[in-house]
Amino acid sequence: MTNPLDHISDAARRCVTALYGVEPAASLIQVQPTRKEFEGDVTLVVFPLLKTSRKAPEATANEIGTWLCANDPQIAGFNVVKGFLNIKLSGSYWSSVLAEIASKPDFGQLPASGKTVMVEFSSPNTNKPLHLGHIRNNLLGWSVSQLLAACGHKVIKVNLVNDRGIHICKSMLAWLRCGNGVTPESAGVKGDHLVGDYYVKFNDLLKAEVAELVAGGMPQEEAEKNAPILQEAQAMLVRWEQGDPEVRALWEKMNGWVYKGFDETYRRLGISFDRIYYESQTYKDGKALVEEGLAKGVLYRRDDGSVWCDLTADGLDEKLLLRRDGTSVYMTQDLGTAKQRYDEYGFDEIIYVVGNEQNYHFQVLKLILGKLGFAWSDSIYHMSYGMVELPEGKMKSREGTVVDADDLLDRMYATAKDTSLELGKLEGMSEQEQDELFRMLSLGALKYFILKVDPRKTMLFDPKESIDFNGNTGPFIQYTHARICSILRKAAEAGYKPSVNGAALLPKEESIVHILSGYPDKVREAGLAHSPALIANFAYDLAKEFNQYYHDTQILREEDASVRDQRLELISVIARTLRHAMKILGIELPERM
């Protein structure tokens, strides 16, 4: 299928050669969609061609427009606005485009690129359950993976579980002090929630000890560093790295609780991974790289035994890689994990889906890997995204003021159920069908509301607004799809067969085909930008166009059978394109609502 912009570009190139005897450089042929306030489909910007034509802008535009109409049967007319040539494509052109789109069941899927892309997302800590911030991370990571697969790349979805470190020891120590042997089963609580409760409990115990030390005359900053419970947690981390059997046994038990809880949340979100890495298994690789860096003189050891990388010549500061007690930091394990992944998969690009508070971290990661001699460090891309905030402000895990992912999913389901019952859209549906519909609507609302926003922007999440059946929401697109499916079912029952048969298209139908024709380019653009928001908003624009068309146009009641069947084919293509777009976002579209 020739994209309208490509079609006019090719025609304009032939025209310039024919009129002026010069093969124009590709940069001189500039085309764009015609702005809505002007008549036309594609606009050729004439100004770059004036040196070739040696004529005024309007004269050049009229001359090119006249030649195009005379020599390209797919061009129906033109108008000139200063140096802009607005070109109208023929109805037969749009019919041929519709026919070609209809013939491609995988329309929107780009050819295989031969490129391997690894996408790391989720990366939770095992000291707390997943929360709203993790949901944005997971949805972005999954959607970007689907988007890159649609761009023809081989995609490997990976998760790095941060299952070791001082934060884990804090939960373990609080459980030892206050848990009295409680388990998820005995408490009737998901394991990740139980462990998260003890992370919050540790912070409460720490605050109490700090307050006691300050009351005894110790300065606040010194008290925060010397509180006995914090020193005990730090000593537990050293024992863990030394392989202490007792500490390791407790760590394995509590992490097991968390993994089981995570798996349930991932399942509810529709998230899965091709490979899961664990920091406890990769940090030693990072330590080995640090030793290599010391040997090469890339890193240096201070008098206290800590190891650093001096990045001041790169406009940054000095970066700690090993503490003075020999324990590693996040950067250490990220170095080791990156090398292990490249050795395993030889990726062309690795994308880290991590919040924008870690921009500096990934800048440093690339620099250090480069200094260690890994040329593939240039393939690292940090997909930096903004935080999710609530009307009441930011979330804080250690204070227990986060929006829990499981609770949010429950709330979204309840809201979808209440909204559907209020609208009375459940006639003839069994209880099981209703449950499945509420699940689809709640997840569609949540995912779409988050993914329609440019990933780089901080966003405010409003659960009630997200579930609205009108406006730029997931349920609006889901309802649009269900409406199209209903029309197609009735058509099938009446024996009608959708087909592109050359019937004249209405201007609105040509406009919709124009939108559809740009979908592969939109997928390509979104993939290059790593932005599912472009796909989300394309789907909304297409759904909105359909609803306006449906309101103004007869489909099943159209008396001319050829017109009716072609309209059925058009809406079938719309539904299929919506399914492809929303699949990229991880959103299911119901056939009945």
The CATH number linked to 524 is 1.10.730.10
Q: Are 118 and 276 in contact (CB under 8 A)?
A: no
CA distances from 504 to 3, 94, 254, 382, 517 (A): 20, 10, 67, 49, 18
Mean predicted confidence (pLDDT) in 282-291: 91
Task: Return mean pLDDT, the chain.
Answer: 93
Q: Which of 375, 399, 423 is the last residue of a domain?
A: 399
Q: What local confidence, expressed as pLDDT, does residue 284 receive?
A: 87
Which structural domain, as residue segments, surrounds residue 11? 4-89
Q: How many CA atoms lie within 13 A of 225 on its CB side?
A: 4
- Residue, of 249 and 388, whose pLDDT is higher: 249
Answer yes or no: is 423 within a domain. Answer: yes
The average pLDDT across 435-451 equals 95
| Counted domains in the chain | 3
Same domain? For 395 and 489 the reply is no
Q: Is residue 482 part of a domain?
A: yes
pLDDT level of residue 397 (50, 70, 90 thresholds): very low
The two structure tokens encoding residue 43:
């606009």
pTM above 0.85, yes or no: yes
Give the pLDDT confidence of 514-565 residue by residue, as tens digits: 999 999 999 999 999 999 999 999 999 999 999 999 999 999 999 999 999 9
- Is 101 part of any domain? no
Whether 393 has a pLDDT exceeding 60, the answer reads no
Written as six digits, the tokens of 525 are 């653009």
One domain, residues 351 and 367: yes
Rounded-to-integer distance, Cα 102 and Cα 572, Å: 8
Q: List the 275-278 sheet strands across, edge first.
A: 275-278, 154-161, 116-120, 349-355, 380-385
For residue 111, being part of any structural domain is answered with no
Please say if the pLDDT value at position 444 is more than 80: yes
pLDDT in tens, 56-72: 999 999 999 999 999 99
Between the alpha carbon of residue 342 and those of residues 35, 54, 251, 347, 348, the distances in Å are 46, 56, 29, 6, 9
Confidence of residue 399 (pLDDT cuts 50, 70, 90): very low
Is residue 97 situated within a structural domain? Answer: no
Residues 442 and 465 reside in one and the same domain: yes
Q: For residues 532 and 475, state if they share a domain.
A: yes
pLDDT greater than 90 at residue 136? yes
Whether residue 105 is contained in a domain is answered as no
H or E stretch covering 256: helix 245-269
Range scoring the smallest mean pLDDT among 118-122, 263-267, 412-416: 412-416
> Within this chain, do residues 354 and 227 fall inside the same structural domain, yes or no?
yes
Domain co-membership, 353 together with 411: no
Residue 396 has pLDDT above 80, yes or no: no
Q: Is residue 285 part of a domain?
A: yes
Looking at 355, 372, 399, the residue that finishes a domain is 399
pLDDT of 1 strictly over 60:
no
Lowest-pLDDT choice from 118-132, 155-169, 339-353, 462-476:
462-476
* Of 399, 430, 460, the domain-final residue: 399
CATH number of the domain where residue 20 is located:
3.30.1360.70
pLDDT of residue 400: 47
- Assess contact for 369 and 380: CB atoms under 8 A: yes
Please indicate, yes or no, whether residues 395 and 453 belong to a single structural domain of this protein.
no
The answer to whether residue 48 scores a pLDDT higher than 80 is: yes
Please indicate, yes or no, whether residues 389 and 413 belong to a single structural domain of this protein: no
* CATH number of the CATH domain containing 385: 3.40.50.620
Q: For the segment 12-31, what is each residue's pLDDT rounded down to a tens digit?
A: 999 999 999 999 999 999 99
Tell whether 494 and 379 lie within a shared domain.
no
**Residues 358 and 411 both lie in one domain:** no
269 inside domain = yes
Q: Tell me, yes or no, whether 63 and 146 share the same domain.
A: no
Co-location of 342 and 458 in the same domain: no
**Rounded average pLDDT over 219-229:** 94
